[in-house]
Homo-oligomer: A and B are copies of this chain.
């Protein structure tokens, strides 16, 4: 079971989680991550832009890699694009598995790759206008964990 979507309007994380739980009734464990626009001082809005011909196929390929690498009953990746207010959900990733370790690692893997390796560009609107958010070093460290694990497989 694979459910990969891009939304250009808001989605309900609660409804997504409930839908996923129903779709994987035999999973003994479900790990989920919900990411929201942080309510930071002076951030009025966040815009996530993307290049659709790469973004959605990239998310599908990411889901396929996770489904191949871990023993999962299902994987859901929902991602917002467009302009969002603080507190709005940006991303929802859920994995259901027989063993919780598989579900944890699959969600962690998907989030690391969505954050650093997916075709999204972010900018924030502050009182003095829009500001692009640059790549972060931590994300590349997060990603490289998986490469090391791959070499050891």
Contacts and interface: CB of A to CB of B under 8 A. Distances in A.
Given A30-B34, A108-B104, A14 B25 contact: no
Contacts of A28: 35-38
Contacts of A31: 31-33, 107
Contacts of A36: 27-30
Interface residues of A, number: 30
A44 interface: no
A101 interface: yes
A86 to B, nearest CB: 9
Given A17-B17, A30-B32, A33-B103, 5 more contacts: A25-B39, A26-B38, A30-B34, A31-B31, A100-B111
